[in-house]
Structure 1
Amino acid sequence: MVERNKKIEKLLSFPGGAQQPPGLVASAAKMVPFTFLSIIIVGILAFGIVDRGPWTGPDTTGTALIKFCLSAFKQNSPPACFFPNLYGIKLEHEAPLFFFIAAYIISAAEQAYLFIFGDSLPLEYVDDFGRILQVLCVLVALIFLWLGTKILGLRRESRPSDPLGIGPDASTFGNNLGTCAVLLTLSCLGLVFRWHEVGSEGFSFLFQAVCFFAMCQGPEKPKESAVIFSVGLVALFFGTSVHVSLSILLAAIFIFSFIYPWTLVKKSFLRSTFYFLTSTILIVVLVLVYQSDESQNFYLWINGQLNLFELRPFYVIKNWLWTWWPLWPICLVMLYNLVKFEKFNQPHLKFLGILLIAQSFFPLMGLLTNDGQKFLPIVPLTVMAAFGLLFLPKIVADLLDWFALSLFTFLGFIVWFYWIALHSGLPVEVFANITRAAPGISEVVNTNDLILGVIISLFWIYLILWRLKFIHPNIWRPVVLSAGGLGLTWALLITLWGPALNINRGYQNIQALLKPVRNETVCINRDDKKLIAIVAAHSETKIVPYNRNLNKNLCRYLLVRGSPAYATVEEQTWIKLSDAYRKSDSKKRELFTLYSRN
């Protein structure tokens, strides 16, 4: 047992440690190539945001919320959509601010479009704009993340020991550390898909990064930082969820109360934050008093947020093992070295540890959230992993490299294998599976997509060869293949399989079902929030939610979802017009039926 512990200690401690060796310190001086970083950002963020319809899940719900807000703006009643709802049906798990801002910008763009072209902006581009806005939020968030990490790295107590004087100066070290945090964010497996949906994930990341930046510069500029922090906190409260804003507030109180050098400005920072948040609360109360109709909606939304609860810690941790990859292995190795050398007194690591624990506690315990397995405390996790690269042994770095090389090469092979099967018809079984998953997919080769796919694959091969030849120790070297592989694999998937994904995850048949009644009024059961969101996102049909007792005079048409729907519809009142399944629903699990009033 003793011998085994010695082997583990040797494995995780060489060449890392609380006192980093000179070679590793010197490696922090070499910057990440700008071209490589640009290609990764483009590969992850620029592909899959336009030229497609809303997909199942948050993409559809987000598009529906924006469209509902646009209709509220046209009726001169913007407050009607400030608290998330679809035609009066409350969506307590959603936060309003992102959708409200997106609708406001689209409304302004629509006015400009009308002035320039003399025509209204097509509504089918609403979801594209929502995804573009999400990606812009992510880009700005990466800037704030880089700035905050740089400030943290500039602190004397954050820099590694350099007895030989061969390491980087403070500015270079901070810049490189910030770039590593950006690279690690882009390599995180749990974010790439969610950043390409119409939702508040990018918006949440932006203001988490803003709060992090404000806290990092708090010791130097306490009052200015308190204002920035408070703005970010309010935006998180109305733009994400209660648990995210509350966890960051609790972390800030603890950090400024007990951790040096933040304790030096505790009174100034916390007092300014208290004044700003108190003023915001008073303004919200006054607005609700003035808008008495919205006070009840605000109460329902807050009550719904506070009632969210789902305690499944083991299920959450199981999902975090892949959504947090490759960040958590780096953090664990750093934690091992800190425990081994008893180096718990480093302020920057205390700062990040408190922020990580505070943000992870609520989803892990299921408090104020029912979707904890999807939550990712990306800011403290990536910055901690960036510092953890200084502790990373060569053997662990090589393991991360080989895992990324194997995973993304395999995924690239699968993408090409299925693409060849689609256009050649062989193997027959694979071709049958493809056409069943995406019925109606074109079998004609798109030359532009083919050329772009080949270029992306060549980039991946070049990156592998460059990594094999690159032997100089750099702290960012272990995440080159992880970030590059994820970005290029995503770009390849969208390039070759974008149309198939649009069919598989879209609602084209439901759009066709509703096309004859696009200018009519359709009744939908108010308990079926998913169906209301689908119709609102994919058509211009006016929706009237109804309770169990349906008044047939409310609308001319009735739409129901699910095979048991026939039993709930009175045959004497309603006549079945047509029905449809989603194209990819080969097992016919979810039936959509349209009825007309008799």
Structure 2
Amino acid sequence: MTETTPAIVAQHAVRRLPRLAMWLFCLAFVVPGLFGREPWKGNEITAFGQMLALVDGPSSWLTPMLWGQAPDLDALLPYWLGAWAIQMAPHGMSAALAVRIPFAMLLGLTMAATWHGAYYLALSPQAQPVAFAFGGEAQPKDYARTMADGALLALIACLGLAQLSHEASPILAQLAFVSCAFYGVAALPYHPRYSLVALGLGLSGLSLSGAPSFAVLMAAGSGLLCLLDLESTSATTGRRHALWLVGMGLAVACIASALDVWQWRLQTPHNNWSEWRSVLRLLAWFTWPVWPLALWTLWRWRSHWTSLHWSRHVVLPMWFAALTVVTALFTPSADRTLLLALPPLATLAAFALPTLRRSMSAFIDWFTLLFFSGCALVIWVVWIAMQTGWPTQPAANVARLAPGFVPSFGVLACVVAVMATLAWAWLVLWRVGKHRHALWKSVVLPAGGAALCWLLLMTLWLPLLDFARSYKPWVAQIQTVMARVSSTAPNCLMAYGLDAGQMTAFRYHGGFEIKPLDSSSRPQHASCEWLLVDNDLRPGLSQVVKLSEWTRIQTIRRPSDNDEDVILFHRQP
């Protein structure tokens, strides 16, 4: 029994989004942030340190360690990719740029897998629109292609995708491999061989990227759905697909056990309303604007997932999204985990498009137009204030939040930003003037606005953001203080209380040989003449060094961050 579809779509509404326009959307989102910046603090600089350690030799390829510290995620493949990129980089290319190239390709893989996964789900008979009495309804492949275009545009529009998807860290690898697994399960009834390749890549890559338990759960749940799918395949085929998925899950578990990458990071649920409210607020903005559309899909297609004869185009992305969201509620890094929910949520959002009323579609257009145009205006105004000092209030805010920052004018960045802004204005006019009946019309402006704002940030604001988010200005500031004290170029630095990312910054930007300090390292580091101490750990410093041997130089505050004060000491001659 096939449930009644709520989609009423004529053939003229499934006009194909021009491939050139789709490629420009993707490039405008992927390329900005790839060039012209250093590794940013947090997950990116820590992962970058692990990659450098693999290249330089002190770390094992099977058990990565950074100054004796294990990574937060028991990931192997992302660090291998970065290390291989550094080793293969041409002469003159910085290591920071080299490691971002394979991760930009992973973001492209995420987009391609999401498009193809949505395409094959929309191709299923239960997802097809109502057949008209005299013909004229949308043809299956044209309809599926339009749904896939809508899913990809919805993915680009997600606010939470912007920064995390441009960091060279394990979470981006997890996103790409989740998308591959999603495509593999979606296309299983149509192209079993390609699907098995995608599933093998996705599940094994996910296991080697720090999420083996998530991969096993995903394989087991997807296998169960294949077994219970009574509409898309025969019972025999469904059992065969389920066995394949269960077998892959067992293989992933064996690989994870052999490489010893199992690690549970689940925590007990929050026990007060303020913490739950914070998580819900994160969920609301991180998955905007796809979550309202996804909820609308679940409502309009409710007969396709609340009955015994459910439809895979709704249940499959709902399962992937629900698994990720529930996992995020039990993990300390909810934002990184929620990133994995964006491809299935974007697919669910796409199936809302053929059911939207004209008033709701108009509301989305106007809200998007005002929101992203306002954001673009703010970015331009602040940039003009940085360059000219007017308006005075934005210029004063930049000077207060980023003391020491000296604005610079980049001709290429300005030209690209102007062209992007003009393209946005053209897109708005094109949207209201043509293709008014195309199904993807309600997500083309959100995707274009998200790509515009990210591109403007990564061109006009990139020097400011790099100053605030990278450690390079901080390292240069400390080197300047060292040069005033000693004429000898420092090459060794003892660190007490600094985290792995901070020590990586001093190693990469300053060229220091870093010696982490603890109670057992005093004789080993006796030759170092410089000591950098976290300000919060200063009271316990006397337990690891003889203070009489050291002269306190000064407390140095990292620009744009009041919580990273360090104290510089120099060994007395």
**Given the two structures, how large is their TM-score scaled by the length of structure 2?**
0.86
Q: Measure the CA separation in 2 of the matches of 1:131 and 1:309.
A: 35
Distance in 2, matches of 1:244 and 1:488, equals 34
1:565 corresponds in structure 2 to: 538
Which residue is equivalent to 2:564?
Answer: 590
Query: C-alpha distance in 1, partners of 2:449/2:238?
Result: 43
AA matched with 2:379: V
Q: Which runs of 5 or more structure 1 residues have no equivalent in the other structure?
A: 1-16, 114-119, 289-297
1:152-171 matched pairs, under 5 angstroms: 152-163=121-132, 164-171=134-141
Matches within 5 A, 1:36-115: 36-72=21-57, 80-93=60-73, 95-107=75-87, 109-110=88-89, 113=90
Matching residue within 405, 411, 425 for 1:461: 425
Report deviation, 1:231: 3.2
- For residue 426 of structure 1, what is the aligned residue in structure 2? 390
Alpha-carbon distance between aligned partners in 2 of 1:30 and 1:215, rounded to the nearest angstrom: 27
1:409 alignment counterpart: 373
Question: Is 1:554 paired with 2:525?
Answer: yes
Confirm or deny: 8 A CA contact 1:84 1:92 kept in the other structure. Answer: no
Return the letter of the residue paired with 2:518.
Answer: N
Any idea what SS the aligned residue of 1:415 has?
Answer: helix
1:316 corresponds to which residue? 279
Q: Distance in 2 between matches of 1:27 and 1:361?
A: 40
Task: Give the structure-1-normalised TM-score.
Answer: 0.83
Structure-2 residue corresponding to 1:12:
none
> 1:408 deviation in Å?
0.7
Match of 2:109 in 1: 140
- Following the alignment from structure 2 to structure 1, what is the Cα–Cα distance between the partners of residues 219 and 187? 16
How far is 1:499 from its partner? 1.0
Q: Distance in 1 between matches of 2:162 and 2:306?
A: 34
Number of residue equivalences: 546
Whole-Å separation in 1 of the counterparts to 2:193 and 2:38: 45
Question: Which letter maps to 1:424?
Answer: T
Provide the secondary structure at the position in 1 that maps to 2:262.
helix
Report the CA distance shift for 1:460/1:88 in structure 2 as closer, same or farther (over 3 A). same
Cα distance in 1 for residues equivalent to 2:268 and 2:82? 29
- Does 1:19 pair with 2:6? yes
User: By how many angstroms is 1:323 displaced?
Assistant: 0.9
Amino acid at match of 2:29: I
Question: CA, structure 1 residues 95+59, in 2 after alignment: closer, same or farther (shift >3 Å)?
Answer: same
State the shift of 1:321 in Å. Answer: 0.5
1:576 paired with 2:556, answer no
Counterpart residue identity of residue 7, structure 2:
Q
Q: Which of residues 340, 345, 351 in structure 2 aligns to 1:387?
A: 351
In 2, distance between residues paired with 1:518 and 1:95?
A: 37
Tell me if structure 2 keeps the 8 A contact 1:518–1:540.
Answer: no
In structure 2, give the amino acid aligned to 1:41: C
Structure 1 residue 568, shift from structure 2 partner: 2.0
Partner of 1:189: 159
Query: 1:90 aligns to what SS in structure 2?
Result: coil
Q: CA deviation at 1:444?
A: 5.5
In structure 2, what is the Cα distance between the partners aligned to 1:191 and 1:475?
23
Q: 1:443 to 1:252 in 2, by over 3 A?
A: closer
Q: For 1:558, what is the secondary structure of its paired residue? A: strand
Match of 1:128 among 97, 103, 118: 97
Rounded Cα–Cα distance in structure 2 between residues aligned with 1:280 and 1:373: 25
> What secondary structure does 1:547 align onto?
coil
Of 92-101 and 536-545, more deviation after overlay is shown by: 536-545
What code does the residue aligned with 2:153 have? Answer: L
The letter for the 1-side match of 2:100 is: R
What amino acid sits opposite 2:24 in the alignment? I
Code of the aligned partner of 1:265? T
Q: Cα gap change, 1:285/1:34 in structure 2, threshold over 3 Å: closer, same or farther?
A: closer
Cα separation, 2, equivalents of 1:34 and 1:223 = 27
Tell whether the 8 Å contact from 1:64 to 1:86 is kept in structure 2 after alignment.
yes
**Among 134, 144, 149, the residue aligned to 1:174:** 144
The alpha-carbon distance between structure 1 residues 240 and 342, as it changes in their structure 2 partners (threshold 3 A), is closer
User: CA offsets per residue over residues 533-575 of structure 1, 9 Å max, x none?
Assistant: 4434534323333434552432513322225526524421333
Cα deviation, residue 396, structure 1: 1.7
TM-aligned CA distance change 1:583 to 1:373, over 3 Å: closer
1:371 aligns with 2:333: yes
- Which is worse superposed, 242-251 or 393-402? 242-251
Could you tell me whether the CA contact under 8 Å between 2:216 and 2:252 is conserved in 1?
no
| Percent identity (aligned) | 22
Aligned counterparts, 1:113-512, within 5 A: 113=90, 125-163=94-132, 164-222=134-192, 225-260=195-230, 261=232, 263-276=235-248, 278=250, 298=260, 302-303=262-263, 305-306=264-265, 311=270, 313-339=276-302, 344=307, 345-364=310-329, 366=330, 369-374=331-336, 375-376=338-339, 377-443=341-407, 445-470=409-434, 472-512=436-476
Partner in structure 2 of residue 293 of structure 1: none
CA distance in 2 between partners of 1:514 and 1:239 (Å): 36
Amino acid at match of 1:561: D
Q: Is the 8 A contact 2:160 2:287 kept in 1?
A: yes
* SS state at 2:15 partner: coil
User: Hey, what's the Cα distance between the residues in 1 that align with 2:269 and 2:501?
Assistant: 20
Displacement of 1:132: 2.2
TM-superposed CA distance for 1:86, in Å, is 1.1
Distance in 1 separating the partners of 2:517 and 2:412: 48
Counterpart of 1:31 (choices 11, 16, 20) is: 16
Query: Which amino acid is 1:322 matched to?
Result: W
The residue that corresponds to 2:485 in the other structure is none
Alignment deviations for residues 373-424 of structure 1 (CA, whole Å, 9 cap, x no partner): 4413122111111112112222222221112111111111111111222222
Within 2, Cα distance between the matches of 1:444 and 1:324?
34
SS across alignment from 2:548: coil
Q: Is the 8 A contact 1:519 1:540 kept in 2?
A: no
Q: Which letter maps to 1:259? A: D
C-alpha distance in 2, partners of 1:445/1:358? 46
> What RMSD over aligned residues (CA atoms) do the two structures have, in Å?
2.9
Counterpart contact for 1:127–1:198, Cα < 8 Å: no
Following the alignment from structure 1 to structure 2, what is the Cα–Cα distance between the partners of residues 233 and 341?
28
Q: Larger relative contact order (C-alpha < 8 A, sep ≥ 6)? A: 1
Cα distance in 1 for partners of 2:221, 2:285 equals 25
Question: Paired residue for 1:523?
Answer: 494
Q: What does the per-residue CA deviation read over 1:208-261, in whole Å, with 9 as the maximum and x for residues that have no partner? A: 121112112223454663454133212101214245324422321321221233
User: Larger deviation: 556-565 or 438-447?
Assistant: 438-447
Deviation per CA, 1:263-284, whole angstroms, max 9, x where unpaired?
A: 5434423434454555565566
Moved more, 216-225 or 135-144: 216-225
Partner of residue 543, structure 1: 514
Change beyond 3 A, Cα 1:94–1:583: farther
Distance 2:305 2:571 in 1: 75
